[in-house]
Structure 1
Amino acid sequence: MPVDHGVVPEQVVNAGIGLGSHARTLLRRCRSAPAGNYSGVMPSTPSRGSVALVTLGCTRNEVDSEELAGRLSAEGWTLVEDAADADVALVNTCGFVEQAKKDSIDTLLEAADLKESRRTKAVVAVGCLAERYGQTLADELPDADAVLGFDSYRDMSSHLTAILAGERPASHVPSDRRRLLPLSPVDRSAAADAVALPGHGDGEAFVRSRLGGGPWAPLKIASGCDRRCSFCAIPMFRGSFVSRRPTDVLAEARWLGEQGVSELFLVSENSTSYGKDLGDLGLLEKLLPELTAVPGVERVRVSYLQPAEVRPGLLAAMAETPGVMPWYDLSFQHCSETVLRRMRRFGGTEPFLDLIGRVRDRQPLAGVRSNVIVGFPGETEADVDELERFLTQARMDVVGVFGYSDEDGTEAESLGDKLPEHVVLERVERITGLVEELTAQRASERVGERVIVLVEDHDEDDEGVAIGRAEHQGPDVDGVCLVRTADGAVPAVGEFVEGEVVDSVGVDLVVDVR
């Protein structure tokens, strides 16, 4: 359960994988019609049918969906926004933690309901939940017409054609994807093309269709993870760490720039490992200046940094490269050394505070965010007190608080000293209350700062307010800037505006442009 930004609500407790009764209405959260297709293949005609991609989970899943969209578009499928208007609802599920699994199942059930009253003919599950559970998921959801794993992405068009013709493909058979590639990171790179790796192009010319026209976009730089955190199942279904080649990353970045994207959000399971399988652990530092030089790109933001792997050279490159945002997404998870060792992680209160201090020595106004897990097996009251001390001294801008829950197949699942659910809930509430107070204080301390805001939307309740993000704010879950102008003219989406922070509301900032 390596907690990740933009994945699930900030309070997660034991929920179980069983069918949920409160489905989230996500079927109309498909983004707007494709804004462009990155492919050397022209779509065939006539259309094979229509498909709507429904994406749950993190930004890495968004990239996977856009790769699927590119493949399907190139094969002659018509992409539509609303699942109710599609022949096929293709649901890209999340298998991250129990609440995310429940949301995925509920969404698949909602999609299946469309077959009763709408034009939708088939519902297909893909993504992490499908990869992780395969036939088990198919057994729980007989109304789903197929459950397909990552290996099916290369030929998704043929699968969907067969499904619409009345066939039911065999459900995916899960396996530990860490075993698909060599143990040696450098040897792994040469073998990666033989394995289906979403977001890597699978050894072919990369294909991607944007499913939205916003001014920022995720750009995947790697897949998988080599760390063995005791609570985390992601390496089992995402596989070993594999970097994308810099030439592929840059080619896609240039294409995104041509599509009107001005902020690139670099995503992976562990960005600090980028390049190790290519023989150069300093490759990210070299890649950043090339990405910021891409025409049209004004901002580059790096997500998911493992504190134990953050190198002085990387900190220097992030601080000194113009266009790289002063935003540090540091995966602490806890601060008690006892708890961290049981998690199979490194660090502690003092090393983590030192890392934050080194960031702020270079960039005093940098944004720092993280996530923490409370209620881990064996966690004591003293460990929680230590976490409170760390959070109080760290004064981060955003902290996601998660309650521990067992993940199938992980080492932590078999650990003793499990805490009762009510104790986990109490600790989640305790730490969440502290975090809300601390992050609100941190936001209020920014009053008087000058910020440059990328406008992303307009306030539906106040026509005179634009919504965007300052340099220290990451997308989706890090708070926003509410922008007001002296003359009442609302800046356009995609515009950069400079203003002064005049107030804060929780973690959100009110910015006046004068």
Structure 2
Amino acid sequence: MSSPVIDPAAPGRTVALVTLGCSRNEVDSEELAGRLTAGGWTLVEDAAEADVAVVNTCGFVEQAKKDSIDALLEASDLKETGRTQAVVAVGCLAERYGEQLAEQLPEADAVLGFDSYQDMSSQLQAILDGHKPASHTPRDRRTLLPISPAARQDGAGAVALPGHQQIQPADFVTTNSQGTDEVGTASGPPVIRARLDGRPWAPLKIASGCDRRCAFCAIPMFRGSFVSRRPHEILQEARWLAERGVREVFLVSENTTSYGKDLGDLRLLEQMLPELAAIEGIDRVRVSYLQPAEIRPELLDVMAQTTGVTPYFDISFQHASGPLLRRMRRFGDRQSFLSLLRMVRERVPQAGIRSNVIVGFPGETEEDVAELTAFLEEAELDVVGVFGYSDEDGTEAETYADKLPQEVIDARLALVTELVEHLTAQRAADRVGETISVLVEEIEDEDGELVVVGRAEQQGPDVDGSTVLTDWPTGRVPRVGQIVAAQVVDTEGVDLIARVLETHDAAVSAPAAEQDRLEVGVGQVRTS
């Protein structure tokens, strides 16, 4: 969960954004924050100090749904004790369930879907004025665009795609040095986004939706068909982020390896990565969510050979038993996945590799579990997320008859989780002695001693572990946003402990001024 780091005492209409779920949701929240700021709202950190609390929910798995509902209830309690007048649910849970969520959660003053994002400012004002909008009516968003990927771009502008910066330059004005208004900028389209924290990294959405039909996954139904953003839009937003102190951009989507297919060229990602890495101020480009069946050797080559692209491979395996993967409507098996990992490590021997797996899928046998554990023991993955299967509304797997008892799912979840914890801790320990590059993210004073924490290139944001830096050079003051060369000397689970070898003092820290974090692109939404 994240929320803005902003002065809670600001005057005027105030709004707090609470974000749950993945980095894609974080992008959506920052775009919402930009739209609201452009509409005259002031962002505050504490929902108790906000006129409206907007909760960007997650609807991925059962636990995420529960966490989202808890967050909505917690925010609703503030209406009795704080300044808060209204609580609004947005995000995936609101998009997926809409009217049903509103009926079951009357504490929320509105449940708004993705189609409301572009007009969120007026929606919130109407709520404060006592005009409760109709709750979102869910629909299968895959039906909103043509089945053929090549035909989608022409109609994508009429479909709400959060995080895609669906803005026309003519909708913006900016004041030039002579004090007169101009429309747009010579450097490219405007960006409407507000940083909600001071982190030196930021997620950057390159596509939305998914065309795969995995039997367990509901995401395509509420995120829609796969749509790529155009490269120039992504590059423009990356430059905007770099100007605000971001040193690592984290490319996010539901399926990164499909990027460009609706633009007529699956090689666009390979072409764009060097351009992103060449942006002044951007030291790292991190790629997420690669589908193993779609990974091309050419993409691996570019990721391995482009300076600035991190040696990090987020590959969605989900299981390793071939027959079970077919029931999941996926491809691959233990041997093909191991072959893919060999291809990665032939190019980048010290690559960081993460994945997710599901246990307890309907029909999973003991032999399937054995195939999965054998794969995990051979794969030497750095991080593995382990999930126990649960039915998701509207999915094919929900209709399967051969469901496993919950106690069996729980036992397999515990078994594989324990194995993964041992294997990933060993993988981290194998890195002792390696020289790594670390992005400083946090500096804390604990009893007069500075504790400096960052991430190595092989560690993804939030969930892939961190690196504690020791032996900081005498006379050098660490700063958030610095890149540090260090040698791994010890580990704690998946976390690394590394001795500083070299600091790059030319590095800039993350934005220090809150106004920098609140700045919204090149101008403001025209209200007249």
Calculate the TM-score normalised by the size of structure 1: 0.91
How much is the aligned-residue C-alpha RMSD, in angstroms? Answer: 1.3
1:371 is the counterpart of 2:371: no
Q: Distance in 2 between matches of 1:461 and 1:126?
A: 38
Please tell me the residue identity of whatever aligns with 2:480.
V
Cα contact 2:57–2:91 (8 A) shared by 1: yes
Q: Distance in 2 between matches of 1:156 and 1:479?
A: 35
Q: Distance in 1 between matches of 2:422 and 2:457?
A: 22
> By how many angstroms is 1:202 displaced?
2.6
1:481 is the counterpart of 2:467: yes
> By how many angstroms is 1:143 displaced?
1.3
1:50 is the counterpart of 2:17: no
Aligned partner of 2:522 in structure 1 is none
Task: After superposition, give the CA deviation of every residue in 1:4-54 in whole Å (9 maximum; x if it has no partner).
Answer: xxxxxxxxxxxxxxxxxxxxxx6xx413139xxxxxxxxxxx976100000
Cα contact 1:374–1:404 (8 A) shared by 2: yes
Aligned partner of 2:514 in structure 1 is none
Aligned partner of 2:438 in structure 1 is 453
Aligned partner of 2:341 in structure 1 is 356
Q: Distance in 1 between matches of 2:318 and 2:446?
A: 36
Match of 2:115, SS state, is helix
Question: What runs of 5+ residues in structure 1 fail to find an aligned partner?
Answer: 1-25, 35-45
Return closer, same or farther for 1:420/1:493 CA change in 2, 3 Å cut-off.
Answer: same
1:109-120 matches, cutoff 5 A: 109-120=73-84
Aligned partner of 1:466 in structure 2 is 452
Q: Distance in 2 between matches of 1:485 and 1:190?
A: 56
> By how many angstroms is 1:204 displaced?
3.0
Please tell me the residue identity of whatever aligns with 1:86.
A
Give the aligned length. Answer: 476
> By how many angstroms is 1:199 displaced?
0.9
Query: Percent identity over the alignment?
Result: 67
1:155-170 matches, cutoff 5 A: 155-170=119-134
Please tell me the residue identity of whatever aligns with 2:462.
D
Q: Distance in 2 between matches of 1:270 and 1:460?
A: 40
Task: After superposition, give the CA deviation of every residue in 1:219-265 in whole Å (9 maximum; x if it has no partner).
Answer: 00000000000000000000000000101000000000000000000
> By how many angstroms is 1:194 displaced?
0.5
1:339 is the counterpart of 2:324: yes
Aligned partner of 2:182 in structure 1 is none
1:79 is the counterpart of 2:43: yes
Q: Distance in 2 between matches of 1:210 and 1:510?
A: 30
1:325 is the counterpart of 2:289: no
Aligned partner of 2:482 in structure 1 is 495
Cα contact 1:464–1:484 (8 A) shared by 2: no
Q: Distance in 2 between matches of 1:388 and 1:87?
A: 51
From 425, 434, 440, the equivalent of 1:440 is 425
From 389, 396, 399, the equivalent of 1:411 is 396
Aligned partner of 1:251 in structure 2 is 236
> By how many angstroms is 1:167 displaced?
1.3
Structure 1 range deviating more: 197-206 or 251-260: 197-206
Structure 1 range deviating more: 69-78 or 488-497: 488-497
Please tell me the residue identity of whatever aligns with 2:496.
L
Calculate the TM-score normalised by the size of structure 2: 0.89
From 275, 290, 303, the equivalent of 1:305 is 290
Aligned partner of 2:220 in structure 1 is 235
Match of 1:379, SS state, is coil
Aligned partner of 1:291 in structure 2 is 276
Cα contact 1:31–1:212 (8 A) shared by 2: yes
Aligned partner of 1:31 in structure 2 is 4
Task: After superposition, give the CA deviation of every residue in 1:473-505 in whole Å (9 maximum; x if it has no partner).
Answer: 101011110001254655211111111100011
Q: Distance in 2 between matches of 1:213 and 1:504?
A: 27
Cα contact 2:4–2:43 (8 A) shared by 1: no
Please tell me the residue identity of whatever aligns with 1:493.
V
1:197 is the counterpart of 2:184: no
From 348, 370, 378, the equivalent of 1:385 is 370
Aligned partner of 2:29 in structure 1 is 65
Aligned partner of 2:500 in structure 1 is 513
Cα contact 1:48–1:161 (8 A) shared by 2: no
Cα contact 2:4–2:44 (8 A) shared by 1: no
> By how many angstroms is 1:334 displaced?
0.2
Q: Distance in 1 between matches of 2:193 and 2:473?
A: 40
